[in-house]
Amino acid sequence: MTILSRRLVVRAVSIAALVALLAWIGGGQVLLDRIDPALALPLLILPMLLLAVWQRREGVDLRRSTLVMALALVAGAQTLLAVSLSGSAGGLQITLVLVAGAAAGWVADRLVRWRPRVRWLPWFAGLALVIGWFTAGHMLLAALYRPAAASTGTPATTMLTGLPLRWSGNGDIAAIISGGAEDDPALVQLEAMGPVSLVDSLVDHVPPPGGALLIAHPRALAPQELVAIDAFVRGGGKAVVLADALSGWPAPHPLGDPRNPPVTSLLTPLLDHWGVTLGAAPTDDNSASAADVDGARLRLSSAGAFERLPPTCRSFAGRRIAQCRIGAGEAWLVGDADLLFAPLWSPLVPGADHLRQADTIAWLAARLWPGAGVAVLQPLWIRAHAD
């Protein structure tokens, strides 16, 4: 191997390793428990500037060859990691990184070889390039990872819950009116995905034709309401049921106040009728745990497992989540209502959908409204082990 060849390989390997390191630490892969190659995009300009400086005295052919080899190594390493850790190659993400890396390499090379009369001008341009690339990269990723909302005219999802989602702020009615509604982030995000009708009773508020039902840890329901839920699902409706054996949702009112959410699930009669038994939640571990459902990541807290499920059910995540055929309809059962708690799923930076900690809102949207919850890019989560 010639000296030039060795130099090319060393530089290409070094740049590829730097890209991987920046994606793992600075891009948020380790923090978010993900292996998305696309998370490297906002930081690509840094190794490309280093490469351009490193070989500023080399010929054009060697510079191009080094860049091509570095990008090939990045693609190979990130694909291998993605397949081994998430089960998906992330082909679209790899393609995006390659295109962005080639563009960043070309721009960096032009900048480093620029010789203006004012000596400090390249330094200023370099700083502006890094800041602009970083900002534009995050904006692009936020748009590509943002789940699609339901189309106009989609039937509303009827929601019944005992969680403090509407006007979640503390205070009396006068304070709420003067300060405006302080809806919980979960409700705000769900309403951004599609129409939601929050009701106190299903007897007089049956879901519209084509609509879905979201039951999130409600208070005690009257027998006629349980009958209405069962009839809706068996008649071909879709429902998502969050039944928490031990809710950890913060109580907005003093202990014992009936306005607080129920401590445990009060849906046992309905679940028994469906042939489902929800086991007790673990009391020795309140930390969040990852649950994977067909590639989507949910984060649960003290979730109970379904000890008994009929043959028409398919279970996930150690039987803490189940998809069941009930008559002509379908019900998704989750042994935890805390998955709606914003700190478990919200992005690290507000509005940055690519930095979300879980797919909770997108996952719910996909089950409540046709066509909702789908994005151009999907997070590649490092696979969780079912308990």
Residue 287 located in a structural domain: yes
Q: Does residue 387 belong to any structural domain of this protein?
A: no
Give the pLDDT score at 283: 66
Residues 219 and 254 placed together within one structural domain of the fold: yes
Residue 127 shares a structural domain with residue 167: no
Same domain, 213 and 346: yes
**Average pLDDT per block of 10 residues along the chain, 387 residues long:** 72 92 92 95 96 90 92 94 92 96 96 88 94 97 97 94 75 48 88 94 85 92 92 95 82 65 83 92 74 93 90 94 96 93 93 95 96 95 77
Asked whether residue 381 is domain-assigned, the answer is: no
Q: How many domains does the chain have?
A: 2
Q: Which of 115, 145, 175 is the last residue of a domain?
A: 145
- β-partners of residue 315 are 322
> According to the model, what pLDDT value does residue 4 have?
58
> CA 67 to CA 100: how far, in whole Å?
12
- The residue among 96, 116, 145 that closes a domain is 145
Q: Are residues 85 and 187 in the same domain?
A: no
CATH number for 235: 3.40.50
Would residue 384 count as lying in a domain?
Answer: no
Domain range holding 274? 157-368
Q: Are residues 107 and 173 in the same domain?
A: no
Do strands 157-161 and 212-216 pair parallel, antiparallel, or not at all (unpaired)?
A: parallel
Pair (19, 127) in one structural domain: yes
3-state SS, residue 326 = strand
Instruction: Note the pLDDT of residue 102.
Output: 96
C-alpha span between 296 and 27 (Å, rounded):
20
What does the DSSP assignment read for 63-114? HHHHHHHHHHHHHHHHHHHHHHHHS---HHHHHHHHHHHHHHHHHHHHHHT-
Question: Are both 129 and 172 inside the same structural domain?
Answer: no
Predicted TM-score of the model (pTM): 0.90
Positive or negative, the CA dihedral 78, 80, 82, 85 is: negative
158 in helix, strand or coil? strand
Contact 6, 353 (CB under 8 A): no
Same domain, 237 and 216: yes
Are 76 and 209 within one domain? no
The predicted pLDDT at position 177 comes to: 47
- Is the Cβ–Cβ distance between 133 and 188 less than 8 Å? no
Helices 185-193, 360-368: inter-axial angle, 10-degree rounding: 40
Q: Are residues 317 and 277 in the same domain?
A: yes
User: Tokens for 384?
Assistant: 């969780």
Q: 142 Cβ partners below 8 Å, 6+ apart?
A: 351, 352, 353, 354
Distance between CA atoms of residues 103 and 60, nearest Å: 16
Residue 329, SS3? strand
Final residue of a structural domain among 145, 168, 193: 145
User: Considering the domain boundaries, does residue 151 fall inside one?
Assistant: no
User: Does residue 48 sit in the same domain as residue 11?
Assistant: yes
Closest to 193 measured CA to CA, from 135, 237, 240: 240
Q: What is the pLDDT of residue 5?
A: 74
Q: Is residue 376 part of a domain?
A: no
Residue 19: inside a domain, yes or no? yes
Q: Is 377 among the domain residues?
A: no
Q: What pLDDT is recorded for position 335?
A: 92
Residues 21 and 168 in one domain: no
